[in-house]
Each structure stands twice: as C-alpha cells, then as structure tokens.
Amino acid sequence: MNLQLTEDGRLRHLLTLDGLPRAIIMQILDTAESFMDVGEREVKKVPLLRGKSIFNLFFEPSTRTRTTFEIAAKRLSADVVNLNIATSSQTKGEAILDTVDNLAAMHADMFIVRHSQSGAAHFIAQHVAPHISVVNAGDGRHAHPTQGLLDMFTIRRYKGEFHNLTVAIVGDVLHSRVARSQIHALTTLGVPEVRVIGPKTLLPTGVEQMGVKVFHDMEDGLAGCDVVIMLRLQNERMKGARLPSAQEYFKFFGLTPEKLALAKPDAIVMHPGPMNRGVEIASEVADGPQSVILPQVTYGIAVRMAVMAMLAGTGNA
C-alpha cells in the first residue's frame, strides 16, 4: 500500500519519507530551488495556488512550523486558514474525523496536519475525499517529512552531493520525528554513513535496522563528520528517568566548539529548532561560522512551497 503516491507514481499526500522514492525527493529539492528567488522579490508571490484553500490543522501547538507553512502557502497565492485545535478539547478520534469532514465541506484542497499521535496524518489521509491532499507537519514520534526535506535541501546547498558524506544525528532520537525523517531521507539519497549518537535511554530499540551506526560516545561519533545535526532535548525527559540532569547531558552530549573540532573542518551544524542553548548546543556553536541553522529556516519556506505546488499539481488542479 502506498498511500502517498498516485497510481502513476506522483505525490498524492506527503506523510513520511519512509519509502518515498529518491526521484520524488530530488524533484522536491529541485522545485524548491526554483522557488528560492521568490522570497527575494519585491512582490513575494507566484500565482500557482490561486483559489486554493489550505487548512493548517494543528492538533498540537506549534508556531514556527505553522508559520512557515502559512508563508509558503501565501507565496503561492493560496488562501490559508489556521486552526489550532487544543488536543485536550478533542473528545478523541470521532472529533478528528468530524473536524476533517467539516473542513472538507468548506471545500478545502489541502490539509497541513500536526498531531501528537504517530500515524495521525496517515489516519486522516485514509479518510479524506480523493481531491484533498494531506501534508504531515509532524505526527507523534513518527515523521516530520517537510523538516527532513528542508534538511536535505540545506545539506545539498552546502555540500553539493550526498554520496560522499558522513552525517551524525545527535541526541533524543527516541522521541524525534525529525530524526526518523532525516534518517529515511539520508539513506534514500545514498549517504554512505549515517550515525546516531546518544545515551541508551534516548535511542530507540532496533534503530540500527533503519540503516544507521549507533554511537554512545560523542567524540567517537563526531570524528570525521561532514554534517552534524543536533536534536532538541525536551525538558520532560528529565522526569521520565531518561536523564539525570540537563547539565550532565550537556557535558556528554552537548555540542561545544571542542567537540565540533573533531568533525571535519568544513562540517556544517544543523538544528531543527527551537534550540535549548546550553543543553544540546553551546551558543558559540549555534551562532558560529559552521552553523547553518538560520538558513535552514529560510529554505524551509521554499521546500514547503515545492511540496504544496507538487501536491496541487496532482490534485484536482
């Protein structure tokens, strides 16, 4: 079953990068490249999605991701409606489907969905009318495909190729949908060595079966890397007995200039944001010359424009 592709292999929904063909990922990156200059024009708009209604359906609070999707949609001239549905007010699933049905009745063309449950975007995609596309903007620990794509876009911009890279993903992989999407994209694009680095309490069971090398020592793991991706550490990890303290975490798994020096001299540092300075990353690194964290945000808009434009092209456009 491939819910996210049409029968002739085009993008129908974007739910996960797991199993998404390399050609489609490359097409998204190339399309994003063509949108890069839109943001620099005086009139930052193209009319590709004029008359389309895009609903930001956020069952979990988010400002940054929602905003970048909104900007991307508006630059494509779509009409955007933001819905922040507090998960607590949801009387569970029936309400999700009711919400979706109601919005569909308002002639929605696309749903951008964020939800705290893994698989929620799949669930909605399985229930929407055929003309509606679903973009997963983060579901539980499962996937955050547009983030994974913008990270690939960033890597390609700075490194050119994928086939000769060593990439390290550092931190709370267990709870990270971003890490999962990055791993799938990196392996699909032919990165020969993808590493995950973290304490055993923050690495999921059997993660090596996703095609990564596991390191528990950050200095070993960073040696010779071209790309270092830091993951956000949520404060509640301390409560669940996964970590003793933020201080100890920073000492052993936080990215400092000293540790970064073990990577290649031209290594880039990435972070999906928002950062916890002094927890997973030192300010000197976050603001330093190797950081590409702010460009990631800029590229995120072009990548999301590309995804929406491609989905609209396979919808009822």
Partner 1 sequence: MKIHIKNGRVIDPMSERDEIADIFIAAGKIVAIGQGPADFHANRTLDASGLIVCPGLVDLSVRLREPGFEYKATLESEMLAAAAGGITSLACPPDTDPPLDEPGLVEMLKFRARNLPGPRVYPIGAMTQKLEGQMLTEMAELTEAGCRAFTQADAPLTDTLVLLRAMEYAATFGFSLWLRPQDVTLARGGVAHDGAVATRLGLPGIPALAETVALATILQLARETGARIHLARLSTRESIAMVRAAKAQGLAVTCDVACTHVHLSENDLISFDSHLHLVPPLRSLRDRDAIREALRDGSIDALCSDHTPVDEDEKQVPFGESAPGASGVELLLPLTLKWAREMGVPLMRALDLISWKPSQILGVSGGNLSVGGYADLCIFDESAEWIVTPKTLASQGDNTPFLDHPMQGRVRYTVIDGHIDFEAPR
Nearer to partner 1, 203 or 225 (CB): 203
Task: Assess 93 for contact with partner 1 (CB under 8 A).
Answer: yes
Task: Assess 230 for contact with partner 1 (CB under 8 A).
Answer: no
Provide long-range contacts, Cβ within 8 A and 24+ apart, for 247-253.
Answer: 249/199, 249/279, 249/280, 250/278, 250/279, 250/280, 250/282, 252/199, 252/218, 253/170, 253/171, 253/197, 253/198, 253/199, 253/218, 253/280
Task: Assess 40 for contact with partner 1 (CB under 8 A).
Answer: no
Task: Assess 141 for contact with partner 1 (CB under 8 A).
Answer: yes
Nearer to partner 1, 141 or 237 (CB): 141
Nearer to partner 1, 97 or 294 (CB): 97
Between CA 283 and CA 291 the distance in angstroms is: 10
Task: Assess 156 for contact with partner 1 (CB under 8 A).
Answer: no
Query: Residue 200 contacts by C-beta under 8 Å, 6 or more apart in sequence?
Result: 216
Nearer to partner 1, 76 or 203 (CB): 203
CB atoms within 10 A of CB 317: 13
Query: Which two three-digit tokens encode residue 173?
Result: 């992989």
Which member of 14, 18, 78, 169 binds partner 1 (CB under 8 A)? 18
Task: Assess 120 for contact with partner 1 (CB under 8 A).
Answer: yes
Task: Assess 273 for contact with partner 1 (CB under 8 A).
Answer: no
| The one segment of 46-54, 72-80, 94-102, 300-308 that binds partner 1 by CB under 8 A | 94-102
Contact set with partner 1 (CB under 8 A): 1, 3, 18, 92-94, 96-97, 115, 117-120, 122-123, 139-143, 177, 180, 204-207, 209-210
